[in-house]
């Protein structure tokens, strides 16, 4: 059993981007501890598949086809889940896309609005609609899925970097705001692990292809990452830096920001010249 399950015996979770990748893996892991899970995604078929696996593992599934960038739709879904589950113990703001890959100035404005709507505002909406209940309960846990890109800021990924940096900043703000109410916050800042986050990427085809290769070439899969994150949440750690490359980069930037920026420039020089 995960320690998180012992900390929240009602075991009620709401997870966005649940149909695949990390979201799906988190649902499967929590189902083994018999959590009641609200699962949302735009992929209805994928949701139905993971819902069946959750039920087979002993959990209870609440399925919602949801675009997290739509606040009106999100409000209705959140209200329904809270009524059905009787509250919420764990909110995982996981839904995300890589967005436009390429030079910042070549990204069309609609593509900026697209990625901000999902990666940034989707997290804001999740917190907005569920935090009041957590504060009223005087308990709850929020896990925001950001990325090491939010502090590394590699070139040709401006939209992704900006939105993930916003998630880190929001998490830091909420950590202090919610602590007096017994609500804990963690933010995941991982480097690459195997998911399908690049499946909807737009922009420079060669850069998209390289990004997909890097993601799929990782030796860490979504299931392993889900286990690490849940274990870290059980310890109520704030910054979740996995695997070790993420911790190394985070500490290096803190210790020597100027050297860190120089290093990013050297490592990514070929990408910047394209």
The per-residue pLDDT for range 152-201, each reduced to its tens digit, is: 999 999 999 999 999 999 999 999 999 999 999 999 999 865 455 545 55
Tell which residue, 194, 156, 175, 159, has the closest CA to residue 240.
Answer: 175
| Cα separation values, 5 from 90, 136, 219, 230, 266, Å | 10, 20, 28, 10, 44
Q: What is the pLDDT of residue 268?
A: 84
Which tens digit of pLDDT belongs to each residue from 107-159? 999 999 999 999 999 999 999 999 999 999 999 999 999 999 999 999 999 99
Tell me how long the chain is.
Answer: 274
Which tens digit of pLDDT belongs to each residue from 55-70? 999 999 999 999 999 9
User: Which CATH code for domain 3-272?
Assistant: 3.40.50.720
pLDDT at 20 over 60: yes
Q: What is the pLDDT of residue 136?
A: 98
Confidence of residue 272 (pLDDT cuts 50, 70, 90): very low
Domain ranges of the chain: 3-272
Tokens 């401006």, residue located:
158
């Amino acid at each position: 059993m995960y320690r998180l399950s012992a900390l929240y015996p009602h075991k009620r979770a709401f997870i966005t981007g649940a149909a695949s990748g990390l979201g799906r893996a988190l649902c499967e892991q929590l189902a083994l501890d018999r959590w009641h899970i609200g699962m949302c995604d735009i992929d209805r078929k994928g949701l139905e598949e993971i819902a069946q696996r959750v039920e087979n593992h002993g959990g209870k599934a609440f399925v919602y086809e949801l675009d997290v960038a739509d606040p009106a739709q999100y409000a209705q879904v959140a209200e329904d889940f809270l009524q059905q589950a009787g509250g919420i113990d764990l909110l995982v703001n996981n839904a995300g896309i890589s967005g436009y890959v390429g030079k910042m100035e070549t990204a069309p404005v609609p593509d900026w609005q697209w990625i901000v709507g999902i990666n940034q505002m989707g997290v804001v909406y999740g917190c907005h609609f569920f935090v009041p209940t957590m504060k009223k309960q005087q308990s709850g846990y929020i896990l925001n899925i950001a990325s090491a890109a939010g502090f590394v800021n590699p070139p040709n990924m401006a939209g992704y970097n900006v939105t993930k940096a916003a998630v880190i900043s929001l998490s830091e703000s909420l950590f202090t705001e919610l602590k007096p109410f017994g609500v804990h916050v963690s933010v995941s800042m991982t480097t690459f692990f195997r998911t399908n986050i690049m499946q909807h990427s737009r922009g420079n085809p060669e850069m998209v292809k390289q990004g997909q290769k890097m993601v799929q070439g990782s030796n860490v899969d979504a299931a392993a990452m889900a286990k690490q994150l849940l274990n870290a949440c059980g310890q109520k750690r704030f910054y979740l830096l996995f695997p070790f490359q993420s911790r190394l980069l985070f500490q290096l930037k803190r210790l020597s920001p100027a050297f860190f920026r120089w290093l990013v420039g050297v490592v990514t020089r070929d990408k910047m010249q394209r």
